[in-house]
Chains A and B, each alone.
Chain A
Amino acid sequence: MIFSSYPFILAFLPAAVAATLLFRNYAGSNTVLLLGATSLIFYGYWDWRFVWVIGLSIVVNYAAGREMGRGRSSKYRRRVLIVGIVFNLVLLGYFKYTDFFIANVAALISVHVPALNVVLPLGISFFTFQQIAYLVDVYRHETVEHDFRHYFLFVTFFPQLIAGPIVHHKEMMPQFIRGQAGRIDAAMAAQGVTIFFVGVAKKVLVADNIALFASPVFDAAARGVPIAFVEAWGGALAYTFQIYFDFSAYSDMAIGLGLIFGLRLPINFNSPYKATSLIEFWRRWHITLSRFLRDYLYIPLGGNRLGERRRLVNIMVVMLLGGLWHGANWTFVAWGGLHGLGLLVNHLWRRWPSAEHSSRFRSLAGWTATFLFVIVAWVFFRADSFGSALNILVGMTGTHGIVLPDVYRTQLGILGPALAHAGVRFEAVDLFFGSIQVEWTIASLAVVTLLPNSVEWAGYDPITASDRIGRPRWYQWCPSVPWALTLSALSVASLIMMSKSGEFLYFQF
């Protein structure tokens, strides 16, 4: 069940809210259990056969945390931590990487081994990382959870269960202890409903439509069709915006749902395409994953404490593993490696004395370089193989020839013959959709770079919970009747257009 679907919006969510409102008074502190059970139903709706996976994962990690929390010797605690981490990695490794491993080993020794076709349980990458972080925090004496109900909801809370954000134990437990879970408050619900439906609109009205421009190009590339210049850039740009709106939509919906049920989830997405450097990009894109990788991989590897060279190696290792986390395919590793290289260059550049001076031109140049780099890297992320990725990248360089749709020959006026003279060919272009694609691309670029993002617009601040202080600007949301009507119209449009909604891209990771 995805958030932007009729079963979720018209059945599951109202039922969950109603159940919470009805039983909260009776359930008292067991409301967390009620929400946990609701979340398990949400998870089981996808496939009941895999509920045991998340159940086992919760029980084992909770037990390991309790065992470490008993305050035995540090050696024993360390042993429990290692067992816990190995358990998590084995679980993740079996479900996510078995076929990948078999295929690579078989290729190495040149034998044919049939794939096991292991089905990937939904959200396993997310709830595994979340619990590894918990175990490490318990080991570091930073936390320990004695209440199984709280731990159960911490892992299963459905707004963040399937595709993040990867929440920190410390972010959720204080809220549970204060009884925030399931406390449906009008002020939070108003903000939550707003952010949720803005997310639905982003997914249904924008991301799914842009996908129609991206998918044919990547599918054709996978078939070995040489991708021409305009098609390649059109497809790469379309995917760049598709994944932006898709992931940002999911993050909005998660935050909105959290608020409806009285809980504040961390921001996972903060206008990444406004970044003027790759370092900044990773502070804005999938923030909770970056945070996890920094705190539980980069820093334990030594971070920047072991010298500059080691720091650069650590960055590269983290980005390669981060790439692999996204999927069992070398293209994801290449994507991570490419970003790792980009980050190395970015860090080295920052040591350059003149790099400190900031100016509007430098910002623009930085933004352009970052954005172009991100587009190119997405090609590896989306392509199903290196061959497909290279096909598109070669097309982007113009090596397959610069071919423009033949209708442009006349539409470009005197520029048409001039371009033809310069070697540009005007032919049938099958995978570029003309002016409508150009309009979508320009509009998307304007939205992601010029407008405030939805959580800024709605005044959401998960850290201080102080939200917006001061008078809202005319374009900013506040719980007023005009905004209620505007949001309602947007929601109706989204519900009517929901037919084509596909799955969220991050569900597959």
Chain B
Amino acid sequence: MNDEFSALPQSVPPVYCERDGVGPQSRRDAQRFLRWFFGALVFFLLPLAPVFGFLYAAGEIIGVAGVVRHQIEVGGVYSSDTINLEYQHHLALNQIRQTTIVALGSSRVGTLAPDCFAHSFVNLTGMLRWLPDADDIYSDIVAVHKPEKIVVGIDHNWFHPDYRLNSAWARNSRTTWAVSGEAFRHLADLVIRGKLTFDDILRVWRDDSPNLGIQAKLFGAGTDGWGVRHWGLLRFPDTIPASVEAIRQGETQGTFFVGGHLNEKAWRYYLRFLERAKHDGIQVVGYLTPLPPSIIDAYFATGEVDWLQDLRQRVKALPDHIDFFDPRGLGIADADFLDESHIGNQATRQLCEALTRRYPM
């Protein structure tokens, strides 16, 4: 079998481009092909070299290990605009900090800080944004370090049937993203959309703060070495009125939902998460994350929030769970919110104190 191989000719005839299929200039064709191919490759890739230098200088592409090492040794906050390393970054912090308490949830738990707790604490904000992944996320967390307590910020919208993460790709935030060319694409996107100007690039290049990442260098915004989200100089547009109007119109924006029933599947995912934690001897303290009072009023004014009422009842019925959905009881008003769903530092402090009063930790 395959004896044909032994009969291979000395000089292997290549593929030809000529009309008659054979010709003496084949080697010349191939050389020209290689020259053009590599020439074009260099032509396209060479301009990316300074971009790579910029991304490296900005701390965008130094990888999770590099970021965590830097934060432990030097400090500073980290926030990448080009590579989604949030999940892996927080996972690494959990592994290195080995704390008694961790906070888990979306970006809405981001401002919970260690000084609110009597025991060691690390914030795993942004890791849990989608309940179907809760099981895997839990496994990832306990695989690197099993805390004694988990504080879970529960977003109400997780339990509406229409809630989705933006795309298949967003849902794979658990995937380790290698330091790579993906950053180039996102950087180009930022520049094209005008979110990163030439002045910004110069500022980032000249910045000598310990911060890592474009956003961190420009605004001091990012996650510190304990996982806490700092908003720095970032200013948010007043999005509350627009959200109130959208809710009145019954338009879902991927964040607020009117009508329908509670997603039982999502609820089961959450219960399973609680069961696993209980089985592992981990106490879970959960709270419904708050919304600005205006938005809550708009929600209830629609009269189509049975699913929400249902959720609040169920959460309240769970052991070690508390309903902070309407934050007025904590003295928190619209003005304490950074945008339509994230509370600021002072309000977080109030919320955290109320939480630890109820469940000392």
Contacts and interface: CB of A to CB of B under 8 A. Distances in A.
The reply to whether chain A is a binding partner of chain B is yes
A431 B167 CA distance: 11
Nearest 3 CB-CB pairings of A with B: A187-B14, A499-B182, A499-B180
Nearest to B184: A496
Given A171-B5, A428-B263, A479-B29, A223 B182 contact: no
A187 B21 contact: no
B192 interface: no
Contact of B36 (A465, A477, A485, A501): A485
A190 B28 CA distance: 11
Contact of A464 (B4, B26, B162, B181): B4
A357 to B, nearest CB: 31
A428 B265 contact: yes
B34 A170 contact: no
A223 B12 CA distance: 54
Contact of B15 (A186, A479, A498): A479
Interface residues of A, number: 68
B27 A186 contact: yes
Contacts of B135: 223
Given A485-B40, A488-B38, A488-B44, 13 more contacts: A170-B3, A212-B172, A406-B161, A428-B266, A463-B2, A472-B15, A478-B16, A487-B37, A492-B44, A495-B45, A498-B180, A499-B181, A500-B175
B10 interface: yes
A495 B10 contact: no
Contacts of A436: 167-168
A477 B13 contact: no
B12 A479 contact: no
Nearest to B35: A484
A266 B40 contact: no
A30 interface: no
A500 B8 contact: no
B8 A483 contact: no
Nearest to B1: A295
7 contacts: A187-B27, A188-B14, A190-B33, A216-B171, A481-B33, A497-B185, A501-B178
Contacts of B19: 471
B5 A175 contact: yes
B32 A187 contact: no
B11 to A, nearest CB: 9
A326 B169 CA distance: 29
A430 interface: yes
Contacts of B209: none
B148 interface: no
Interface of B: 1-6, 8-10, 12-22, 26-27, 29-38, 40-41, 44-45, 83, 132, 135-136, 161-162, 167-169, 171-172, 175, 177-185, 263, 265-266
B15 A465 contact: no
A170 B5 contact: yes
A260 B34 CA distance: 12
Contacts of A458: 15
Contacts of B177: 499-500
Given A479-B15, A479-B33, A488-B36, A496 B185 contact: yes
A294 to B, nearest CB: 9
B33 A480 contact: yes
B273 to A, nearest CB: 11
A500 B182 contact: yes
Nearest to A432: B168
A141 to B, nearest CB: 14
A433 B172 CA distance: 12
Nearest to B8: A465
Interface in A187-216: 187-191, 193, 212-213, 215-216
A364 interface: no
Contact of A477 (B8, B15, B31, B168): B15
B310 to A, nearest CB: 15
A193 B34 contact: yes
A242 B230 CA distance: 40
A471 B12 CA distance: 18
Given A216-B171, A495-B45, A189 B8 contact: no
Contact of B29 (A464, A480, A497): A480
Contact of B5 (A428, A437, A463, A487): A463
Contact of B13 (A170, A225, A295, A467): A467
Nearest to B169: A212
Contact of A489 (B21, B31, B40, B161): B40
A174 B8 contact: yes
A466 interface: yes
A466 B15 CA distance: 8
A1 interface: no
B168 A479 contact: no
A174 B5 contact: yes
A350 interface: no
Contact of A479 (B13, B32, B172): B32
